[in-house]
Structure 1
């Protein structure tokens, strides 16, 4: 063997020995890791758990038709505490004390120190982070700012914050049953729209979720010093614009409060609609709730959308029976009959006053709401024809309004019903329909036969650009009878309003057409309660060219109503809201309406003057203009200017260019904001003396929200003039009538 071979063999042995030692060490290490260190490694691994979750973009806001923000997503923060801040470790010079944290946080969170210490005192070293319970979730930015200030001073560094979204409803309980609410449902950990528009249009408001990855400890708390990684950006949801008019909604809410205060009813509802397209301009119920506080709301208030509940309508239903009989040429309004009582199937049906009105015409049967007269009308029409028209008006199915929870009507089967069933149906008892079905039916009566589908959403807009991306078009569900029939029906309903000796629902100059209803409440086991009633009024104006339709229902008033009739309880509220709405919308009045003289008028008094037709002009773009430039542009456009703020240039205006055209002479509110503003704040103006609409427009201009109380003119504001407040701040305003 030569020296070269010996050297090769020697090196080969050394290599094999080295490999054997290495492999043995690896085997021994693996055995040690699996058998000896297994438990501690599992614990360490659990400290670093990679978590994946969907993230949502900014949920769309909900606006009224005039741009008032009714719901939006604001910023809030969840608080966690890093327990390692209280534990000694190598290299740490100071250990924090949980008692000091509790003392700092208690007044910020409205919690007790003992309550917070219950979360922070944890001897389990495997737990590294804890939350602070419900009071530590979704806290306001003011709390976050105080924590950040403490961090700058190197204090309470163990408090960590996570930015989260919070749904805000700046107008309190206004339009609560339209808006609905947003939160966590049942066992799910995801938030979603749970009622109202928030639920029906949850997908549009939500947008498209993104995706995020981050590290947490074994309890699911995010580990400090590790930034989340967003792997897919979310798409923001769309803004929703309602058909609701905030001012008309306030008229409704204010009147409902008065109804509750005066009568203490079990339920009450008021609906205001545009009879020419089915848009719901206002909808309110009592009892009600605040969407932002839905979790603590009374369940009856929470789910009490009385506008969608089914119950016996009473005499408001007679309008549809009359329409069918006229359309089939089965009714001569001049024909007379003997009122008082009629026997059907061995049962006696009486007029509401027990004695009747003598021999009267069928036209007078409408005026007097004669049950006997309508039993006879129903008999003339017959079962099949009557129900054919009720179906055409839509009483056999829900309207399909874009709100959840609409109940079905309950009607007799024409093939199985008895003669007494026909009789009771003819005057609105024995059947159940919803207020929104009656609204849809009266829409057809008022506009000449088109049954529009009621709806509360007008359009969808892009959050960033504000551009309309989808419009909700009016939908005609059916057409009933013919315009000539409805001309007669509207005329009779207007005469019915005028026939009332007290003129409870008459509004001078506006030709109101309407019908009241008084329905007994059924007993659970059959029959009717002797002293419980559901009182209603439905009407529209002007009768010959309707612009506004209203429905009012007051369910079982318990005080201040010794005479429980729709004409004495529901109609007065209907008149108040209807008149406010007509004047607010500047619907022209009839100067020749001297049907009923004002009891306080002088001999030479005439009816109020109508609104003169106006020329419309385009709204100029004033953003960035100086005061002189803005004044010149406004003057050239034939408009007027109201300046707010003391900055050098225009930073906001209302109406803006997106508003399009306005009547010549319209006042444009212009905000002169400070230059270079970076903190997202605006100076609070002095609103005292402004009307509700003026205050609303000014607040909208400044991107502020208002919480109105009362009606009329601003007498007090919750935030003092001159105060710098963040955009989106909600300010309480007290209103009272101007003397």
Structure 2
């Protein structure tokens, strides 16, 4: 028994020794491993430092902000904002998820642009863990995000990203352009206008930072971020555009575009002494926030066209500068035969007039004589090149066109280029060329950028100065041409006197009316581009404006003049009042509002119209109004005609002195089929006043821009009317005497 106990004790001791030895060996092995790890930093060939970094080191991309586009006064025109993309979590393993699809859809439909049914369809997708909501759920503003957050919907989440915002909407849109968001990189890229042209300077540079996180992914306390690559914001650009003048331009263009419905409409306002572009726009236009774009070209720089008689400015300038011009010399207007083609004035009844009058009236034959007798067509083309035609201007906008000059071999085209046919130009070229006329012969480059600011170093890195790019004519020539342009507006027979005179400022300008080419088939009949370039005040021009309109359905220079007068009048007052904006534009133009006349009696309607200082035109012999034009609450100039129709049968009024637009309005109401001859104001009608009309009928209307001829016609009619009244009175007196 004792022996057995001793054997057990020995066995216990041996076991204990083995256990101690095993633990000792394990301890030594672990100690060895720790020592080896401490010395080598590796385990089983893996670098533990790299493993820790991989597990706990976070690397993030820091996005550089895209630069802002400002107007000249620091108002943002294009800026980067934070936006949000909406998505829904459908998988319960990712935390909270959409539990009640119908309720969620009903609530979301009150905020995003999707119906309840469309949202249910999206949330009911199978075999997906997350869903987005298309364009309706992208680029949401913070306020929209906040509204959705307030709904307290389970499973509805957001991703933060960047958004380009254009505060003014439709506002110099082809000039400013727009950006597109790259869904993969989250960066904004310029797609049009300045956004595209300046993209590499506006675009920020992304950076990289690193930091150590804990096991839950949070930044460790008292730990710093490590900048691996510095992020840089894009440059900010201050433009020459003036938001107040641009607003005037947008408003004026909207009105005329709606009334005339032209194929396109362009306008530019600039400072002629510095070349700074203060406003520019076109129609059709678009809102860059939603990109409802019809045309991706900027017609002011990219779409050249035959300009018409505004080119006569430079034909006269060339002749004057060569010392060959005599404004008081007379010539026989009408028509000329050039290389077998008969070229005419738009009015062939002027007879013998001076060359100064030829400019005022916009005579084509005066140009033909100048290019045949005083300077050669080749000399003229050299002057056009010196004024900048046939070359790009160099504004910071993509796809600028140089236009075209006449070919060397085509003599007829060189001559017709003198009055703006057979030559292609852009509006921006006209703005550059006219600066030489208004700036003592100095040709100034148009400028769109005034300053470039680096937000990273908080300093202005570039400041644009006025840039003279040539001196095509002398100061004396420039002054003489300027005086001719003043005559276009202020002389009795000036082609711009009716449509382009300003109320409170003396001014000058030149009209243009160009036929539209029909390929190899010549020119289209009664299809025109109307244009005007004008400046004010006449003695010291502060503003110059070019405006053009192609193929309007109604109107011509009378419609184009509405834009010019509205913009120039308000812009000059705004600038002259030390940048104090006009608070009530209607006061400047003496506008008034058309009253509501539908279903009114004729007597009541006429009274209401006259109380608003408007002219009533009653159509028909009924007692109640069933149609009115313009519509109620329209803003029109004092003295405008308001048409009220009372029956389908009516007596044709005397249309003498009416504008083409007024005839168009009348024809739309009555169904008259009108053939228009000429432009300006009505001087003759093929159906006499007073004829009773029931059914639609054809009528030929003759119009004139010759105010002297128009005034004579009106005076003659007044004389006839007075004679008729006197004859009627005499007849009544004779009847009374015979009765006695």
TM-score (norm 2): 0.65
Q: Is 1:580 the counterpart of 2:574 in the alignment?
A: no
1:210 aligns with 2:207: yes
Task: For residue 189 of structure 1, report the CA deviation from its aligned partner.
Answer: 7.0
Give the counterpart of 2:324 among 326, 330, 335.
Answer: 330
Residues in 1 aligned to 2:260 and 2:277: alpha-carbon distance in whole angstroms: 26
| Cα offset, 1:363, TM superposition | 1.2
Kept in 2, the 8 Å contact 1:712–1:737? The answer is no
Cα distance in 2 between the residues matched to 1:186 and 1:342:
64
| SS of residue paired to 2:109 | helix
Q: Is residue 2:503 matched to residue 1:511? A: no
Q: 1:247, 1:693 within 8 Å by CA — same for their partners in 2?
A: no
Between structure 1 and structure 2, the one with the greater Rg is 2
Aligned to 2:165: 168
Aligned to 2:609: none
Structure 2: segments with no counterpart, 5+ residues: 1-16, 30-54, 220-224, 591-632, 639-740
Contact 2:436 2:473 in 1 (8 A): no
Does 2:564 align with 1:557?
no
CA–CA distance in structure 2, aligned partners of residues 389 and 167 of structure 1: 44
CA deviations over 1:580-600 (Å, ceiling 9, x no partner): 22221118xxxxxxxxxxxxx
> Does the 8 Å contact 1:712/1:735 carry over to 2?
no
CA spacing shift, 1:366–1:175, aligned 2, 3 Å: same
Structure 2 counterparts to residues 245-644 of structure 1, below 5 A: 245-294=242-291, 297-300=292-295, 302-306=296-300, 308-353=302-347, 355-379=348-372, 380-414=374-408, 416-418=409-411, 420-463=412-455, 468-501=460-493, 502-507=497-502, 510-559=505-554, 561=555, 564=556, 566=557, 568-586=558-576
Change (3 A) 1:475 1:212: same
Q: 2 CA distance for matches of 1:520 and 1:212?
A: 63
Q: Which residue matches 1:82?
A: 89
Deviation of 1:168 (Å): 1.5
CA contact (8 A) 2:262 2:551 kept: yes
Counterpart CA distance in 2 for 1:186 and 1:417 is 54
Aligned equivalents of 2:183, 2:436: Cα separation in 1:
41
Structure with bigger helix share is: 2
Deviation of residue 738 (structure 1)?
13
Residue 292 of structure 1 aligns to a residue in which SS? coil
Aligned CA distance change for structure 1 residues 309 and 234 (closer, same or farther; 3 Å):
same
Residue 504 and residue 116 in structure 1: after superposition, are their counterparts in 2 closer, same or farther (change >3 A)?
Answer: closer
> Distance in 2 between the 1:336 and 1:323 partners?
18
- Contiguous gaps of at least 5 residues in structure 1: 1-6, 20-47, 215-223, 588-662, 667-690, 696-707, 714-733
SS for the counterpart of 1:436 is helix
Answer whether contact 2:574 2:582 (CA < 8 A) is retained.
no
Q: Distance in 2 between matches of 1:709 and 1:72?
A: 33
Q: What SS class does the counterpart of residue 422 from structure 1 fall into?
A: helix
Partner of 2:675: none
Q: Are the structure 2 counterparts of residues 201 and 424 from structure 1 closer, same or farther at C-alpha, using a change threshold of 3 Å?
A: same
Cα distance in 2 for partners of 1:398, 1:576 equals 30
User: Cα deviation per residue 1:295-324 (whole Å; 9 max; x = unaligned)?
Assistant: xx1423x43534542000100001011111
Equivalent residues of 1:341, 1:356 under 8 A apart: no
- Alpha-carbon spacing, 1:583–1:100, altered in 2? closer, same or farther (3 Å): closer
Q: Which residue of 2 aligns with 1:235?
A: 232
Q: Does 1:107 align with 2:105?
A: no
* Mapped contact 2:503–2:569 kept (Cα < 8 A): no
Pick closer, same or farther for the CA change 1:187–1:77 going to 2, 3 Å.
closer
Compared CA separation, residues 459 and 712, structure 1 to 2 (3 A): farther
> How many angstroms does 1:694 deviate by?
6.9
TM norm structure 1: 0.65
- Which residue of structure 2 aligns with residue 37 of structure 1? none
The CA deviation at 1:121 is 4.1
Please tell me whether the aligned partners of residues 311 and 433 of structure 1 are also in contact (alpha carbons under 8 angstroms).
Answer: yes
In the other structure, the counterpart of 1:57 is 64
Partner Cα distance (2:538, 2:471) in 1: 19
